[in-house]
Structure 1
Amino acid sequence: MTDWYFGLAILLLLSLGGALWRVWKGPAPADRMMAAQLVGTGAVGIILLLSAAAGWAMIDVAVVLALLAAFAAVGFVKAQTRGGAGDPEEGQDG
Structure 2
Amino acid sequence: MTAVDIALYAVAAVLLVCIGVGLWRAVRGPSPEDRLTAFVLLGTSGAALFVVLASALHVAALRDVAVTVVALATVVVVVYTRRAER
Is TM more than 0.5 here?
yes
Q: 1:29 deviation in Å?
A: 2.2
Task: Provide the residue aligned with 2:23 in structure 1.
Answer: 20
Query: Which protein is richer in helix relative to its size?
Result: 2
Uncovered stretches (5+) of structure 2, i.e. residues with no partner:
none
Larger-Rg structure = 1
Aligned residues: 82
Matched, 1:38 2:31: no
Bigger relative contact order (CA 8 A; separation at least 6): 2
CA distance in 1, matches of 2:18, 2:40: 14
Q: Secondary structure at the match of 1:66?
A: helix
TM-score normalized with structure 2 length: 0.85
Q: 1:47 deviation in Å?
A: 0.6
Identity across the alignment (%) = 33
CA distance in 2, matches of 1:19, 1:33: 10
Task: Provide the residue aligned with 2:67 in structure 1.
Answer: 63
Ranges of 4+ aligned residues in structure 1 off by more than 3 Å:
none
Worse-superposed segment, 56-65 or 16-25: 16-25
User: Deviation string for 1:31-66 (max 9, x for gaps)?
Assistant: 112202211211111110010011001111100110
Task: Provide the residue aligned with 1:78 in structure 2.
Answer: 82
CA distance in 2, matches of 1:19, 1:65: 15
Q: Secondary structure at the match of 1:80?
A: helix
Uncovered stretches (5+) of structure 1, i.e. residues with no partner:
83-94
